[in-house]
Amino acid sequence: MKLAIVVGHNAHAQGAVRQDTGETEFSWNSRLADIIKERAARFPSIEVRVFFREYMGSTTREVRDVYRQTDLWGADATCEHHFNSHSTTSATGTETLTSGTKSSVHFAEAVQEEMLSALGLRDRGEKYVSREGRGGKSLHFGRAPAILVEPFFGSSPKGLAATDEHHEMVRLADAILLGAQAAFE
């Protein structure tokens, strides 16, 4: 299967910031995407390509453009990477957003389960998001079953502790690949 990894946000507007290192969503998830690409060598049934959103001054155009590229590549599934943030440090946990189609829900459930065992954070579940909702464009613009992952809160000491070591990023990368394998094999 062809799995498109989409790095959330863009180089110009990089999203939320980790409270421990100051690293942005765009930067951290770009590094995670590299690890997913490396680890994909262990998953012969999965071909991974990483896609970046380009700043265009309009989120709609930016998101439409990147999912046009995943469609052109012939992605069988897309997974867009973010992390959460909240004004209170007590907000914590892992969640996966789904477009609500049968295969997106199936993919979201598989990846959510793997991320929970990889990170050991609270289960915030899978959340259906409409085209108009937060992250909805990323879930609905492409043809392939789409999910958007928020593995942790960059504002939570627990979320930060679970994701600040290289081996923890490797476990998270494997969780995405294991979830894709489980959902699409």
Q: Residues interacting with Zn ion, by CB under 5 A?
A: 8, 15, 25, 82
For the bound state, the minimum distance from the C-beta of residue 154 to Zn ion, rounded and expressed in Å, comes to 9
Which residue, 16 or 119, has its beta carbon nearer to Zn ion? 16
Closest CA to 152 of 112, 100, 108: 112
Which amino acid is located at 106 in the chain? H
DSSP 48-93: EEEEEPPP-S-HHHHHHHHHHHHHHHT-SEEEEE--B--SSTT---
For residue 43, the one-letter residue type is F
| Least Cβ distance, residue 6 to Zn ion (angstroms) | 11
Radius of gyration of the chain (CA): 15
Question: CB of 93: closest distance to Zn ion in angstroms?
Answer: 15
Nearer residue to Zn ion within complex by CB, 82 or 158: 82
Q: Which is nearer to Zn ion, 46 or 70 (CB)?
A: 70
Give the list of residues 6+ apart from residue 107 with CB closer than 8 angstroms, or none.
77, 79, 98, 145, 147, 179, 180, 183, 184
Choose between 82 and 106: whose C-beta lies nearer to Zn ion: 82
The residue of the chain with the least Cβ separation from Zn ion equals 82
User: Shortest distance, CB of residue 17 to Zn ion, whole angstroms?
Assistant: 11
* Contact assessment for residue 149 and residue 82, using Cβ atoms and an 8 Å cutoff: yes
Task: Provide, rounded to whole angstroms, the least separation between the CB of residue 140 and Zn ion.
Answer: 17
DSSP strand pairing (47-52 vs 94-98):
unpaired
Residue closer to Zn ion, measured from CB, 81 or 158: 81
